[in-house]
Each structure stands twice: as C-alpha cells, then as structure tokens.
Structure 1
Amino acid sequence: MSASGAFRAFLKSETGPMTVHFWAPMLKWGVVFAGLADFARPADKISPTQNLSLLATGVIWTRWSFVIKPKNYLLASVNTFVALTSGYQLARIVNYRLNEGDDVKQVFNYIINGKDNTAAEVDAEKDQKAQEAIVSN
C-alpha cells in the first residue's frame, strides 16, 4: 500500500479524523496539559477531590477504550495520561500533608472530603487564639 493509500485508509477508518472517536480524545488532551501545568502549583493549592475523580475517570475510560468497538487506542492513551497525571498530583498532595504532620487517616479524609486544615495550620490557629486571649486580658 502506498503512503497516500495508507493515509486515505486512516482518514476513512472507524477511529479516523472524520469521526468523533478521533476528535473527542484529541480535545481531551487539554485536560492532560492542564494537569501537567499544575505540576508548577504548590501542593496545598491542588484539589484532592478533583484529582481523585480524574484518576478514577482515567482508569475507567482506559479500560473501556479496549472494550468498545471499535477499539480506540487514542482514547486509551489520553485516559492513561489523565490517570497518570492525577495520580502524580495525588502523590504530591499526600506527601505534602504527611510532611505537614497529618496522619494517614487525616490525609485520606482530606482526599475524600476536600479542604481542611493541616496539623501545622491547626497548631498555628491555636497559638494565635492563645496570643489573642493573653492580649485581651
């Protein structure tokens, strides 16, 4: 098959650029690039619940990409990267929270339920309230 014949076959394939099976995964790469851009953000500014849902979405849709017909390898690749990117972000969040003095249960609760204060922030708030109580007396 010539190069032009191979290209024509790609254009007309079930997952080629003339179908939604091509363009949906292509546009989803924007989610991956946004996740990669978040690598520069501090770990305390990253949403754990959002990254947990992105991890679940990436894993589920990667598997589904191989179950559906036609098999969509482009969809599988983008969802693999969504899962990897969000998994790395969750690892950064866990590492940050453990270094701030949280125990594993607190970190797990934070990832599942969202924003709460780290152990260090709770201690700082107690110190500030104690200072305010001393000053007011």
Structure 2
Amino acid sequence: MHDTASTALSAFDIAAILVVASALLGWFNHHFLKLPHVIGLTVMGALGAIGLTVADAFIPGVTLDDWVADTLQQLNFTETLLQGMLSFLLFAGALHVDLDRLKVAWLPVLLLSTVGVMISTVLVGLAMWGVG
C-alpha cells in the first residue's frame, strides 16, 4: 500500500515531468502553431499556467496552488539546477552548435569565453568586495 507521505515528487520526477511537458508542447508548436521554438514554448507555458490558475479558481476541490507551493518548498532548487538540469541544458545546447559557423567565428568565441569571463569575474568580485 502507498501512504500519502510517499506521494511527494522528487527532483527527478519534477524534471521528468518538465521534460515530457516541454516535448509535448514543442511537438504541438511544431505541427500546429509553427512559432519559433522558444517563443512557442514560452507562450504555451504561460497559457498552461493561466489555465491551471483558472481551473484552481473555478473548479471546487482543486487545490493546485497548494500542491505546487508544497512541492516547490520541498525542492532544493540549487541542487536540482546545478546537479541535474544544468548538465542536460548544456548537452542540449551543445547538440545545436553549428561547427561550420563556430570555425568561422573562432576568435570572438575564444575571446569572449576566456577574456570576457576573466573580466566578468573581476568585476563581480570587485562589486561583491565593495558591497561587503
């Protein structure tokens, strides 16, 4: 038997739900709406959130806002982002790199990825030192 304490979603469960939802919404956008991928997912995500909010407000007994709030409070966002989702996002981004364009623009990419990161690190460090 399952007790109610074991029904809490883990970070993996939440990530899996988000991946499946984005895949389904991406498929729907590709076949029907034909918006640019990022815009389509953003619009459909916003519409989904509005739909859930309306359902929560008008359907008695539906307490989606409480469930979402409880789930988000149980989730360690930093650990989930850095240990789980970031690796998938970086991998997905790397799959879409056009190597021919990267070969053409190697110098700006090299400068921004090294010198730009060093300058940014120094500026953020100085700003934090100034605040502290």
- Bin for the TM-score computed over the shorter chain: under 0.3
TM-score by length of 1: 0.23
TM-score by length of 2: 0.23
Relative contact order (C-alpha < 8 Å, sep 6+): which is higher?
1
Q: Which has the higher helix share?
A: 2
Report the structure number with the largest CA radius of gyration. 1
